[in-house]
């Protein structure tokens, strides 16, 4: 509980009831600085929010590119396998024999069969090489996506913002 003597201040010793012009100017300048600081702080929050949104969008774009490249690789592998199977079927269809008959009684291959077998072997080798190159391309794309993500994170860190949280780094 307050005492009655604390309720009233005695301004007789301090001079005047209102502060002087210098104090008022200082208080007004301090209020202006506080207001400007609040506006700058709001702008920084807004910029960080924008940067975080762009980082999220780029991360999603990287993941989408990875998924699309994986799907492309799978489709190309399936196409290659179906083409190899079709060439084998055509080669076996030309001779008129089933694969079991060929395995049971191996006759001397004719020149056309040798040419077809060589063609099939050459196609299989080429398709195998293409498959390896597609896999290597996918690895390069993943490495590129990872390096872009690292560069973006480093860029955010160098400019004072961490990609993982919304606070300024010191």
Task: Spell out the SS3 assignment of 8-44.
Answer: CCCCCCCCCCCCCHHHHHHHHHHHHHHHHHHHHHHHH
CA separation for the pair 136, 124 (Å, rounded) = 18
Can you state the percent helix, strand and coil of the chain, rounding each to 5?
80, 0, 20
pLDDT tens for 47-85 read 989 888 888 898 898 889 888 888 888 898 889 888 888
Residue 43 — very low, low, confident or very high, per pLDDT cuts 50/70/90?
Answer: very high
Per-residue pLDDT tens digits for 115-137: 888 888 888 888 888 888 888 98
Instruction: Please report, for the chain, the start and end positions of each structural domain, with discontinuous segments joined by +.
Output: 20-158
For residue 138, is pLDDT > 90? no
10-31 mean pLDDT? 73
């Amino acid at each position: 509980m307050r005492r009655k003597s604390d309720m009233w201040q005695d301004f007789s010793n301090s001079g005047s009831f209102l502060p002087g012009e210098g104090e008022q100017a200082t208080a007004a300048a301090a209020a202006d600085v506080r207001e400007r600081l609040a506006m700058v702080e709001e702008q920084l929050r807004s910029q960080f929010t924008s940067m975080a949104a762009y980082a999220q969008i780029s991360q999603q774009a990287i993941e989408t590119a990875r998924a699309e490249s994986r799907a492309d690789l799978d489709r190309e592998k399936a196409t290659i396998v179906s083409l190899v199977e079709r060439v084998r079927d055509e080669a076996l269809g030309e001779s008129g024999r089933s694969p079991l008959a060929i395995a049971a009684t191996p006759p001397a291959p004719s020149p056309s069969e040798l040419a077809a077998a060589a063609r099939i072997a050459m196609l299989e080798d080429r398709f195998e090489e293409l498959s390896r190159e597609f896999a290597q391309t996918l690895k390069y794309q993943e490495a590129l996506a990872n390096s872009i993500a690292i560069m973006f994170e480093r860029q955010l860190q160098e400019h004072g913002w961490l990609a993982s949280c919304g606070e300024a780094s010191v």
